[in-house]
């Protein structure tokens, strides 16, 4: 049974007065992650909105020791910290429970620039949680395309709309045979909370990717962040699933779509709510282009349905 939002702990690790935009999905997600991790954790951040939001010592917006690292090094830096803590514990220099080491990284630092170090850490099964808060672009630097940007989306480097579909990064991480992989998004806070609690108690590498609809890059009203997140799941543009030791389980409402009990909502309404698709969907080819995006979604649903039948 998924934890109700009303039952989430009152404790906060994301403090008020931080510098994120109003309605920021990444900060909402981090708040829930903080409730699940508690204070005994060490946070690593690559350059991103989360760094710009947290402020400067001694007035950090996050209630953990925070380490700013190079863009490409989330995997190697988190692995190094995790190993150092284990050695300190072995040598008796650290008492009590080991802190949870986690990297908090955008899609640029996960899908693109940080992929090599992340892949190596996954292959070694290093003991930390990598969170990717995926806002589907490099939002912090003015919205450039990333490997997570979906087909048709405007960014400053895809002014006519991106022509390629996005990668399935969570699936790529699953194929590294790590013990836990999950996807989540802010409209389903109990689902995210439960996944983080689970990941915290699993040794080895864990990967959790959170869809983070960013009003700035996606061009919608900042009061609609949660609604946009819910719409993404309902139309199948974002699938909620987790895999423990290679076994994939789908979470509601995605499980209803995968099992065929419910049809995904047509993608049109989700696309039309976002200004980033305006240019791509303008003109006489609009319906063909919507069909292309719908096809990307249908293919992913069909692929994940079949992939889930294979347990490693």
Cα separation, 223 vs 22, whole angstroms = 8
Residues from 79 through 118 that contact ligand SF4 (CB under 6 A): none
Residues from 114 through 143 that contact ligand SF4 (CB under 6 A): 135, 139-140
Cα separation, 12 vs 283, whole angstroms = 48
Cα separation, 181 vs 243, whole angstroms = 5
Residues 138-167: x where in contact with ligand SF4 by CB under 6 A, - otherwise, as a string: -xx---------------------------
In this chain, which of 8, 15, 21, 197 binds ligand SF4, going by CB under 6 A?
21
In this chain, which of 18, 20, 46, 254 binds ligand SF4, going by CB under 6 A?
20
Stretch of 20-28, 161-169, 249-257, 289-297 contacting ligand SF4, by CB under 6 A: 20-28
Q: Which is nearer to ligand SF4, 81 or 214 (CB)?
A: 214
In the complex, minimum distance from the CB of residue 49 to ligand SF4, in angstroms, rounded to a whole number: 3
Q: Which is nearer to ligand SF4, 39 or 142 (CB)?
A: 142
Give me the residues paired with residue 182 across strands: 208, 242
Q: Which residues contact 251 (CB under 8 A, 6 or more apart)?
A: 2, 188, 191, 240, 241, 242
Q: Which is nearer to ligand SF4, 139 or 155 (CB)?
A: 139
Cα separation, 247 vs 242, whole angstroms = 8
In the complex, minimum distance from the CB of residue 201 to ligand SF4, in angstroms, rounded to a whole number: 29
Q: Which is nearer to ligand SF4, 135 or 274 (CB)?
A: 135
Q: How many residues bind ligand SF4 (CB under 6 A)?
A: 12
In the complex, minimum distance from the CB of residue 220 to ligand SF4, in angstroms, rounded to a whole number: 11
Cα separation, 223 vs 33, whole angstroms = 21
In this chain, which of 32, 44, 49, 171 binds ligand SF4, going by CB under 6 A?
49
**In terms of Cα–Cα distance, which of 197, 275, 171, 273 is closest to 34?**
197
Residues from 168 through 227 that contact ligand SF4 (CB under 6 A): 214-216
Concatenate the DSSP letters of all residues of 57-95 into one string.
TTS-SBSS-EEE--TT-HHHHHHHHHHHHHHHHHTTSS-
In this chain, which of 18, 46, 53, 229 binds ligand SF4, going by CB under 6 A?
53
In the complex, minimum distance from the CB of residue 251 to ligand SF4, in angstroms, rounded to a whole number: 24
Count each helix (H run) and each strand (E run) in the chain, helices first.
12, 8
In the complex, minimum distance from the CB of residue 240 to ligand SF4, in angstroms, rounded to a whole number: 20
| Helices marked H in 6-48 | 25-37
Cα separation, 252 vs 75, whole angstroms = 30
In the complex, minimum distance from the CB of residue 215 to ligand SF4, in angstroms, rounded to a whole number: 6
Q: Are 233 and 187 in contact (CB under 8 A)?
A: yes
- What DSSP state is assigned to residue 5? G
In this chain, which of 26, 69, 199, 304 binds ligand SF4, going by CB under 6 A?
26
- Residues found near ligand SF4 in the complex (CB under 6 A): 20-21, 24, 26, 49, 53, 135, 139-140, 214-216
């Amino acid at each position: 049974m998924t934890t109700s939002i009303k039952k989430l702990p009152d404790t906060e690790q994301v403090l008020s007065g931080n510098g994120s935009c109003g309605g920021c999905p990444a900060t909402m997600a981090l708040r829930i992650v903080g409730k699940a991790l508690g204070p005994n954790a060490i946070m690593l951040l690559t350059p991103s909105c989360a760094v710009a939001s947290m402020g400067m010592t001694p007035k950090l917006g996050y209630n953990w020791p925070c380490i700013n690292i190079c863009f490409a090094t989330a995997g190697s830096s988190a692995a190094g910290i995790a190993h150092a803590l284990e050695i300190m514990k072995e040598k008796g220099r650290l008492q009590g429970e080991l802190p949870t080491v986690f990297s908090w990284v955008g899609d640029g630092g996960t899908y693109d620039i940080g992929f090599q170090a992340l892949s190596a850490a996954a292959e070694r099964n290093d003991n930390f949680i990598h969170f990717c808060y995926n806002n589907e672009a490099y939002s912090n630097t003015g919205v450039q395309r990333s490997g997570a940007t979906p087909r048709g989306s405007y960014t400053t480097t895809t002014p006519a709309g991106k022509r390629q579909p996005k990668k399935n990064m969570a699936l790529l991480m699953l194929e590294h045979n790590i013990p836990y992989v999950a996807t989540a998004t802010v409209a389903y806070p109990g689902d995210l909370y439960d996944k983080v609690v689970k990941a915290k108690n699993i040794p080895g590498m864990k990967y959790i990717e959170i869809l983070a609809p960013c009003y700035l890059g996606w061009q919608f009203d900042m009061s609609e962040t949660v609604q946009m997140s819910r719409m993404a799941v309902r139309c199948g543009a974002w699938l909620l699933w987790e895999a423990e030791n290679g076994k994939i389980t789908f979470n509601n409402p995605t499980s209803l779509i995968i099992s065929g009990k419910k049809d995904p909502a047509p993608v049109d309404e989700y696309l039309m709510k976002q200004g980033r698709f305006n240019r791509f969907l303008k003109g006489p080819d609009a319906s063909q282009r919507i069909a292309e995006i719908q096809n990307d979604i249908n293919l992913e649903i069909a692929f994940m349905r079949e992939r889930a039948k294979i347990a490693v």
